[in-house]
Amino acid sequence: MATSREIAGDIGTLLAEHRGGAVVLLDIAIQSGWTDWFVIATATSTTHLRGLAKAVDGYASERKLSVRGGSSIKDDEEWVLLDMGDVVIHLMSERARAFYELEKLWFQAEATTISAPQAPQELQAARPV
């Protein structure tokens, strides 16, 4: 069984691979009695928000993990919260993320930034500019 740290890292990487913006893991275990990790990512549109939520749901299904929330995302949705118990995922529009500033609210948490993976060199060279 994977630890909550491993699950948070896997989900952060998954979101970065699906072009989630500014993916951050916050270790809030010391500050919170109800969860250990926040995974925060920015979506560029409602469609992108749905895609990110679907990717997380697929990850959870493969590992037989429970996810609460995100079942029906409305067209004007700007923040989707997916609760996996020890890991809570926040998928937010840029506007919602700037307004709520979760990283500043949980400023005492250790933050880890997850970058999008780079394409292999031969694929980068083949892409038109």
Helix (H, G, I), strand (E, B) or coil at 85: coil
**DSSP element (H, E) containing 106:** none
36's tokens: 């250990």
What is d(CA 4, CA 85) in angstroms, rounded to the nearest whole number? 9
Helix (H, G, I), strand (E, B) or coil at 83: strand
Which pLDDT band, with edges at 50, 70 and 90, does 28 fall under? very high
60's tokens: 């959870």
Closest CA relative to residue 56, chosen from 24, 27, 80: 80
Q: Chain-centre distance of CA 98, in angstroms? A: 16
Does domain 4-126 fall under CATH 3.30.460.10? My reply is yes
**For residue 125, what pLDDT is reported?**
52
Q: What confidence tens digit (pLDDT) does each residue in 72-118 have?
A: 777 888 999 999 999 999 999 999 999 999 999 999 999 999 987 76
Q: Decide if pLDDT at 129 tops 80.
A: no
**For residue 32, what pLDDT is reported?**
86
For the chain, give the mean pLDDT.
Answer: 88
**For residue 102, what pLDDT is reported?**
94
Supply the pTM of this predicted model.
0.87
**For residue 26, what pLDDT is reported?**
96
What is d(CA 25, CA 124) in angstroms, rounded to the nearest whole number? 28
